[in-house]
Amino acid sequence: MTSPTRTCWDLARWLDVVEAVVVIDTMLASRLTDVPALREYALSRAGRRGWRSLLRAVDLADAGAESPQESRTRVRLVLAGLPRPQTQWVVANQGRFVARLDLAWPQFKVAVEYDGLWHNDPEQLHRDRRRLNRLLGGNWIVLHVTARRLRDDFDGFLAEVRAALRTRSRSPWAQ
């Protein structure tokens, strides 16, 4: 058996960075380890195979991710050059809860929601659409992504996110 920190080290060496971050996000969210411990572990092994891979994965990690697909989406967007989104961003209107968004750039009011299989439930769809209407009423742009879209058309989805950010900003990363 290895410690959670050592496991992150091994996985950062064996997996591509996206999949390593998926596991690290889960371990961070479960409080099995933390970012300072992972950084210290990597830096104490500077020069050994994998130390930079672990640092890179830790820099991309976020304990706020609530699913592997949210992690994959976030990391792929960041690796594509977009600014890092906030995870589980809470939107409120006059102090009242409106929604909690999977990924958000609150300064631009742009969000990405990952839609998994549980969205097939008619009652969940009803709640989600009501929530979406409240967000749109608050001038948010909300983009939805599915596993199929991530797998088969990430470039198309990335173009949509860039376009949404471009409408709200004139930054070069949105071009």
Beta bridge partners of 101: 89
Alpha helix (H) ranges present in 48-153?
A: 51-60, 68-79, 122-137, 147-152
pLDDT, mean of residues 156-167: 96
Q: What is the pLDDT of residue 19?
A: 97
Q: What is the pLDDT of residue 73?
A: 97
Query: Can you tell me the distance from the alpha carbon of 78 to that of 154, in angstroms, rounded to the nearest whole number?
Result: 13
| Signed CA dihedral, 94, 164, 145, 64: sign only | negative
pLDDT beyond 90 at 1: no
With pLDDT > 90 as the criterion, what percentage of the chain qualifies? 78
Q: Where are the chain's structural domains?
A: 4-63, 70-174
Amino acid at position 134, single letter: R
Q: What is the pLDDT of residue 110?
A: 97
What are 110-133's pLDDT values in tens digits? 999 998 766 567 777 777 778 888
Q: Which CATH superfamily is domain 70-174 in?
A: VSR Endonuclease (3.40.960.10)
What are 71-87's pLDDT values in tens digits? 999 999 999 999 999 99
pLDDT, mean of residues 8-25: 96
Strands of the sheet with 141-145, listed across from one edge: 86-93, 96-105, 110-114, 141-145
Q: What is the pLDDT of residue 123?
A: 78
pLDDT beyond 60 at 175: no
